[in-house]
Amino acid sequence: MQYNPGWNGSSVNLLHVRAAGPGDSLHYVWSSIGAPAVLLVATQSPSSALRVNWTQLLSASPAGAIWIDPPDSVVYSTAVVFTKLFEFSEAKPLGELFYPTYDLSEFSWDSLNRTLNRTALTAELRGVPAADPGGGFSNGSLAFRVTAYEAGGRDGRLPSLLHTADSSQLEFVLAGVAPRGNSSRFVLEVATVEEAGAARRLRSERSIDDEYTPTIFEVLSLVAQPQNGSSTLGFLQWKATAYGSRSPRREDGIQCRAQGLQAANWSLPVSSIVQAYFGDSLGSTCTVSALNVSFGGEEGEVYQEKRYLSWSVLLGFGEPPRDTFSPLVISITAVALGTPLAMLLLGSCLVLLAQRRRYSEYEPIN
């Protein structure tokens, strides 16, 4: 993990996470320069490196300020940008009432270096609006918590996402922010950038197994695939729930919905690392898609009570991890299904044996 590589100041945030394999390497570049975003680059060189031209990056024309060396080692690159936070309430009988949007590119962000933990591979971007006339953030903040992994496993806190060494987890946290209406609900806008030849699609999978995330049976994935193939290049994966507590339990669950993936026909807000890497292709050959993720049930009361919201999403390369039944669940299922079958077979044998004994005492007539 590198914080602002090649730059001595802490007035801006750029975190580079590099994972090196025997024949390739993966790069995650997180930043709050402009709208908070992450750049994901996979290379076929174990020694590929991130290069940053800081003078150009912090200028009005950042195109070309970020690149991977050697450039021909790059096999796939994409970006995810967190653009806006919407707030609305269902004002009856008038319907939905939207409040002024929080534009995340206009937030003021704390120094990420204060929360950087190179041992635990974690960091946190925390910010508030640069201008907050309504005072909603006077006692609160919005944060993105980043966790990188050195091996596969499962996160210990709900929703207990399964991860690999090729993935990173992001936790979106809204804490202490005063809602501007009764039964307010929040919506986070997420935009993705794909180079020519690849496109995103939203995938939903349901399972009867809720062992690791009780009462949640749906997993959603925003996968990137080649337009002429079925292999998966990268993904965002999350479970259909958020939580309203710092130590989440099942009863703290908040309903989470994805409101459909759409092609974004609007230009991205200022996000310097995305513009710096993709350059002129961002407005021509790249495909920009947007997805709204909403939090809150029909009444939206959970956030009103606790003023805390956390949503976890996994980002990575290749196919997203898939949960399988644990040995404990398999054992319980085997006992639950095997016991009635064993009793049925045993009962059938006893009935047949009893019938044979019943007629064995009689001699046949003639």
Same domain for 294 and 155, yes or no, is: yes
Number of folded domains in the chain? 2
Domain co-membership, 284 together with 138: yes
Same domain for 184 and 333, yes or no, is: no
Q: Cα 60 to chain center, whole Å?
A: 31
246-298 pLDDT, tens digit per residue, is: 999 999 999 999 988 998 866 677 678 999 999 988 878 899 999 999 998 65
> Domain for residue 282, yes or no?
yes
Per-residue pLDDT of 161-171, as tens digits, reads 999 999 999 99
Q: How far apart are CA 276 and CA 166, in angstroms?
A: 24
Lowest mean pLDDT among 122-136, 224-238, 242-256, 296-310: 296-310
User: Which of 278, 294, 317 finishes a domain?
Assistant: 317
360 pLDDT higher than 60: no
Say if residue 332 is in the same domain as residue 274. Answer: no
Name residue 253's beta-bridge partners.
Answer: 243
**Least reliable range by pLDDT among 38-42, 63-67, 213-217, 282-286:** 282-286
Co-location of 106 and 255 in the same domain: yes
Whether 313 and 333 share a structural domain = no
User: Residues near 230 by Cβ (< 8 Å), separated by ≥ 6?
Assistant: none
192 and 337 belong to one structural domain: no
Handedness of CA 271, 274, 280, 282 (dihedral sign): negative
Domain span holding position 180: 79-317
Please indicate, yes or no, if residue 94 is contained in any of the structural domains: yes
Does a structural domain hold residue 332? yes
The answer to the question of residue 301 being in a domain is yes
Q: How many CB atoms lie within 10 A of CB 202?
A: 15
Residue 336 sits in the same domain as residue 295: no
Q: Would 348 be classed as within a structural domain?
A: yes
pLDDT in tens, 303-350: 888 899 999 999 999 999 988 765 655 666 666 776 787 788 888 888
Q: Within this chain, do residues 193 and 94 fall inside the same structural domain, yes or no? A: yes
Instruction: Check residue 326 and give its pLDDT.
Output: 57
Tell me how far apart the alpha carbons of residues 204 and 238 are, in angstroms, rounded to a whole number: 10
Task: Say if residue 154 is in the same domain as residue 261.
Answer: yes
Quick check: is 211 in a domain? yes
For residues 138 and 175, what is the distance between their CA atoms, to the nearest angstrom?
Answer: 11
Q: How many Cα atoms within 13 Å fall on the side-chain side of residue 211?
A: 13
Residue 94 pLDDT: 60
User: Average pLDDT for residues 140-159, to the nearest whole number?
Assistant: 96
- What's the pTM value of the predicted model, to 2 decimals? 0.88
Domain match, 332 and 307 both: no
Residues 292 and 217 in one domain: yes
| pLDDT value for 138 | 94
Beta bridge partners of 224: 200, 234
Question: Domain for residue 44, yes or no?
Answer: no
Cα–Cα distance for residue pair 6/53, rounded to 1 Å: 9
Q: What percentage of residues in the chain have a pLDDT greater than 70? A: 90
Assigned domain for 171 exists = yes
